[in-house]
Structure 1
């Protein structure tokens, strides 16, 4: 039998807030948290942090001389990581691993440094170290004074759940006893938004329901970007104080016809779900947190994949992207946080575009993530 993996804490910073009670209250409100932000040629709807949290981020940035050159993707990760470690009761002298990923990394700083280079022909002194993807985990490790391994990676939108996979692998291999895993994303930049618009997947809607993630009848894509970070603390073995345990992990990659598409039945998600559910009766899965990016093909292909696995008797299905936008590399861990809160409170949070009612206690929830490149991850957690 594989070693049990306990999730001893989860913490985030996002449009939902930065405390578990506050995040849960926002979920219970059933209201989107999207607002207009400036963009090239006008404005777009986005899941931006509230001003209170942006102030906290700025305070952290200028709290130490060597922090003022860091991108928000790093600062978001620091704030979420500090709270996750504190909630788990990990001590400063504890040796634990860190794996925090990001799809885009230091997008804002990179754009600014590149603009400076185009204008002057010279790169700024810290342009290289401050824009490498690896600085997310390394700076979190410095901030926490961790002496264990620190890893950063990008596997596009499934990045955060791949961090969970890596943490589980290290723990089950006996190479660590504790691992901090997560994702951080600060993509609300002119070039990043423009890239999504060029692909014709960014939502043209300008109301609070601009993201129609899980609206399976929509005729055009409505992806909306969001920003934030989320972290979870994993421990080898069963911890009686754990929020949940990881019962199954799955992963897969499918051959694509071009660089961003999924097959109509999302074969990679089918494979990852089957792997995560190995040995688990399908009727024991109470809910699925879908990746559901808000695109026509992305939402429907995942729904088709779920039906291929579960048949006509589907678990409860939901997503949080209609509420906070798509946070790219952080999205999988924010979905895991929603799953943990639903388990803790035994309350299902439905999507307004796919309303369902809970009719039994929540004990097992499956979380999906999939990204550009046809890579998928599924995590099964249990109360």
Structure 2
């Protein structure tokens, strides 16, 4: 029998924290981790790193002269990757692959250099090498001294889960037994916020208890809030003592575009990706779905409709973490995966506080969804290692 591929470690940095204990503790309370800051003179809800987390990143930046010119998205990735590899017990110079996705890449540096170009008509020497998309994976490979392949990609908001697809494919091919996968995003910049406002999907300036109403299907206005962070998981062949969860199924799909950001009302791409991930498994065997649910009216409703189409009357318990940590674009899928792993480990369902839910008595399988601009979807089915 073919051995499964398992997650042997996962590490992240976001408003939730940087270690598993703090992250799980933050999931235990019903408060969101969003705050109001000013962008272009407007109060704006965001989910940003804490001051202590920023200090950790600054320490990393100052630890190596070559790191001083790197974008935050790269440093978030390096920081998370170091911790993931240590937790997995991988040795320096191990032959493992790396695939870290990002929707926007080096957003902060790109905007900085472009502004300088408009003002001066020239640009800095390191503009191109520090803003290229391959920056994240290549610098992580440099930092970890791995001899395996390193890949970068951008597939909008499903980038991190696409990295998992790639890692699984490489391991299944027999070309490697270990792969480091994930996503990193540092999108809290004026231009990026302005782009989301132009789409009319960003949360308004209000004093609601929950500015991001992700999964609330009765909301009257869009409520997406951007967050920053990164997450990295270690994938390995076989079930090991340190395995946290089994990757039981993977699914992916794309639907024809009717508009640049279109998603059909029943999210056909998500239906297809969920069906592929389930394969021959009875949908009733899934206990929880961690939804993409970005907090937009159309996006949340389309995904819910897709789930109903697949699961019918046996719809699992539904949840999302974007009401708490915001939408971290290309990193969002790995943070959702981390939540799924934690629920499997602790056998505790983490719901959305302003929604009614019926928690499952036991959590054996969790399905994670991600979908992005362009109608591309990924679904990952995780199974408890104890069953």
Indicate whether the TM-score tops 0.5.
Answer: yes
Structure 2's unaligned 5+ residue stretches are none
Q: Is the 8 A contact 1:78 1:143 kept in 2?
A: yes
Which residue does the alignment assign to 2:10?
10
- Cα distance in structure 2, aligned partners of 1:155 and 1:354: 30
Matched, 1:367 2:344: no
Deviates more, 1:82-91 or 1:36-45: 36-45
Which residue does the alignment assign to 1:242?
243
Which residue does the alignment assign to 1:163?
163
Which residue does the alignment assign to 1:231?
232
- Cα distance in structure 1, aligned partners of 2:206 and 2:69: 33
1:151-194 deviations in Å (ceiling 9; x for gaps)? 11000000000000000000000011100000000000000000
- Cα distance in structure 2, aligned partners of 1:175 and 1:119: 49
Which residue does the alignment assign to 1:195?
195
Which residue does the alignment assign to 2:327?
326
With structure 1 as the length reference, what TM-score do the two structures score?
0.98
Computed over aligned residues only, the root mean square deviation of the Cα atoms, in angstroms, reads 1.0
Q: Is the 8 A contact 2:287 2:360 kept in 1?
A: no
Which residue does the alignment assign to 2:179?
179
Which residue does the alignment assign to 2:262?
261
Matched, 1:303 2:304: yes
- SS of the equivalent of 1:312 reads helix
Q: Which runs of 4+ in 1 moved over 6 A?
A: none
1:107-163 deviations in Å (ceiling 9; x for gaps)? 000000000000000011100000001010000011111111111100000000000
Q: Is the 8 A contact 2:349 2:360 kept in 1?
A: no
* Matched residues, number: 383
Q: Is the 8 A contact 1:205 1:222 kept in 2?
A: no
1:315-368 deviations in Å (ceiling 9; x for gaps)? 000000000000000000000000000000000000123221324110100000
- Per the TM alignment, residue 206 of structure 1 is displaced from its structure 2 partner at its CA by 3.7
- Per the TM alignment, residue 14 of structure 1 is displaced from its structure 2 partner at its CA by 0.2
Which residue does the alignment assign to 1:356?
357
- Cα distance in structure 2, aligned partners of 1:357 and 1:89: 37
Structure 1's unaligned 5+ residue stretches are none
- Cα distance in structure 1, aligned partners of 2:360 and 2:322: 24
- Per the TM alignment, residue 58 of structure 1 is displaced from its structure 2 partner at its CA by 1.1
Deviates more, 1:328-337 or 1:347-356: 347-356
- Cα distance in structure 2, aligned partners of 1:254 and 1:239: 37
Which residue does the alignment assign to 1:139?
139
- Cα distance in structure 2, aligned partners of 1:171 and 1:197: 40
Mapping for residues 70-149 of structure 1, pairs under 5 Å: 70-149=70-149
- Cα distance in structure 2, aligned partners of 1:359 and 1:248: 21
- Per the TM alignment, residue 272 of structure 1 is displaced from its structure 2 partner at its CA by 0.1
Q: Is the 8 A contact 1:107 1:189 kept in 2?
A: yes
- Cα distance in structure 1, aligned partners of 2:360 and 2:326: 28
- SS of the equivalent of 1:21 reads helix
Q: Is the 8 A contact 2:215 2:295 kept in 1?
A: yes
- SS of the equivalent of 1:263 reads coil
- SS of the equivalent of 2:153 reads coil
Q: Is the 8 A contact 2:293 2:320 kept in 1?
A: yes
Matched, 1:293 2:277: no
Deviates more, 1:95-104 or 1:357-366: 357-366
